[in-house]
């Protein structure tokens, strides 16, 4: 999926112009790109005189609450909205809020996007939905002031893990430079979104790292509800430990399993070039990008671990030696 066609961008521009009150939503367990893209879109729409709100049913993860507009986030869809814009969300069933009935403009960069919108602006080449929004902003008539720029930069910085991923092209760096020129503070965004970890998150990591396994190019570990309690970690995620596993020398694929209170298991995969974990995640009802994907799988952790490890090993064997 390359850059959205001009005609589709024109359609979206007219749809945005016709809207009076828009809600901007993203996927459950929002990451930096989900939050940055949603806040940027809502703030920019407000600059054009519209009513617009970013809606996150569980509020924002603490690390993103410094972002401009974070204080105006709503937990439920407001009454009277005439447009929903989804950002960074590949399928309708991953959408945060339920009850989406009004027309949807779908803006995303996941190759697994199901094009569920009335209008779909999907570019799988973009490093982040925030980069895509930056590229589309002139065509959509969305202004970028310092607050919008800060949110867009946060989306780009987090999805490229600080400009480290293979998706970081010269164009990404040019976009980031322009966002800085508009006033976004790169070092501050980088520090707050990627560099700072709570003590409890590091204690939580230590439980998982204590069970780290590495075999045949695959590195993995799991995190349990008991680990979460022992570390007093408040989230239901892996606290980004997966990105550390992905740095292990010689590992081609990293995966992490996180036990959930509802009996399901969240699995995240990361891999190096030459392997595609999105296809693997899709086998389990998930999705994502070639090099970073995830799935929420029914079943308790130990059982899911066996199934997922065996599927991942099989794919590694099928691909052959690096």
For Mn ion, which is the closer residue by CB, 159 or 237? 159
Q: Which of residues 168-207 bind Mn ion (CB under 5 A)?
A: none
DSSP string, 62-83: GGGTTSTTGGG-BSSPPTT--E
For Mn ion, which is the closer residue by CB, 291 or 316? 291
**Partner interacting with residue 136 (select from ligand 5GP, Mn ion, none; CB below 5-8 Å by kind):** none
Considering only 83-91, 96-104, 254-262, 277-285, which stretch makes contact with Mn ion by CB under 5 A?
83-91
Alpha helices (H) in the chain, listed in sequence order: 6-18, 32-47, 129-140, 146-159, 170-181, 186-190, 199-209, 225-231, 241-245, 277-283, 301-319
- Regarding 292 and contact with ligand 5GP (CB under 6 A), the answer is yes
Six-digit token string for 287? 């999705």
How many residues can be counted in the chain?
322
- Regarding 286 and contact with ligand 5GP (CB under 6 A), the answer is yes
- Regarding 268 and contact with ligand 5GP (CB under 6 A), the answer is yes
Considering only 74-82, 124-132, 183-191, 277-285, which stretch makes contact with Mn ion by CB under 5 A?
124-132
Choose, by CB under 5 A, the member of 4, 16, 27, 33 that binds Mn ion. 33
3-class state of residue 244 by DSSP: helix
Choose, by CB under 5 A, the member of 53, 123, 159, 238 that binds Mn ion. 159
Q: How far apart are CA 198 and CA 241, in angstroms?
A: 13
For ligand 5GP, which is the closer residue by CB, 251 or 292? 292
Cα-Cα-Cα-Cα torsion 33, 270, 166, 201, nearest 10 degrees, comes to: 50
- Regarding 127 and contact with ligand 5GP (CB under 6 A), the answer is no
Half-sphere exposure of 229 (CA within 13 A, CB side): 6
- Regarding 287 and contact with ligand 5GP (CB under 6 A), the answer is yes
**Partner interacting with residue 15 (select from ligand 5GP, Mn ion, none; CB below 5-8 Å by kind):** none
3-class state of residue 109 by DSSP: coil
**Partner interacting with residue 113 (select from ligand 5GP, Mn ion, none; CB below 5-8 Å by kind):** none
For Mn ion, which is the closer residue by CB, 159 or 227? 159
Beta partners for residue 54, in sequence order: 24
Over the Cα atoms of the chain, what is R_g?
A: 19
For ligand 5GP, which is the closer residue by CB, 81 or 86? 86
**Of the candidates 305, 300, 221, 308, the residue with the CA atom closest to the CA atom of residue 262:** 300
Summarize as ranges the residues that interact with ligand 5GP (CB under 6 A).
27, 90-91, 94, 110, 112, 268, 286-289, 292-296
């Amino acid at each position: 999926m390359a850059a959205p066609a001009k005609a589709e961008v024109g359609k979206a521009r007219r749809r945005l112009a016709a809207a009076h009150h828009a809600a901007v939503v993203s996927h459950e367990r929002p990451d930096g790109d989900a939050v940055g893209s949603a806040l940027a879109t809502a703030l920019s729409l407000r600059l054009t005189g519209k009513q617009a709100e970013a809606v996150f049913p569980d509020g924002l993860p603490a690390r993103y609450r410094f972002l401009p507009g974070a204080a105006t986030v709503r937990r439920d869809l407001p009454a009277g909205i005439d447009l929903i814009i989804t950002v960074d969300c590949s399928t309708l069933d991953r959408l945060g809020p339920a009850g989406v009935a009004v027309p949807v403009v779908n803006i995303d960069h996941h190759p697994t996007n199901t094009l569920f919108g009335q209008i779909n602006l999907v570019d799988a080449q973009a490093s982040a939905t925030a980069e895509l929004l930056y590229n589309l902003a002139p065509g959509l008539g969305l202004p970028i002031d310092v607050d919008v720029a800060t949110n867009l930069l946060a989306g780009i910085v987090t999805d490229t893990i600080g400009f480290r991923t293979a998706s970081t092209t010269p164009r990404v760096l040019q976009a980031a430079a322009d966002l800085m020129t508009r006033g976004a503070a790169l070092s501050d965004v980088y520090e707050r979104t990627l560099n700072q970890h709570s003590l409890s998150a590091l204690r939580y990591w230590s439980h998982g790292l204590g069970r780290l396994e590495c075999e045949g190019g695959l590195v993995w570990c799991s995190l349990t509800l008991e680990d979460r309690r022992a570390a007093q970690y408040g989230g239901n995620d892996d606290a980004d430990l997966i990105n550390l596993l992905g740095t292990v020398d010689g590992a081609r694929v990293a995966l992490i399993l996180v036990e959930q209170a509802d009996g399901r298991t969240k699995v995240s995969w990361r891999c190096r070039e030459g392997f595609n974990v999105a296809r693997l995640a899709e086998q389990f009802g998930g999705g994502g990008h070639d090099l970073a994907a995830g799935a929420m799988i029914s079943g308790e952790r130990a059982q899911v671990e066996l199934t997922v490890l065996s599927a991942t090993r099989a794919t590694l064997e099928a691909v052959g030696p690096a």
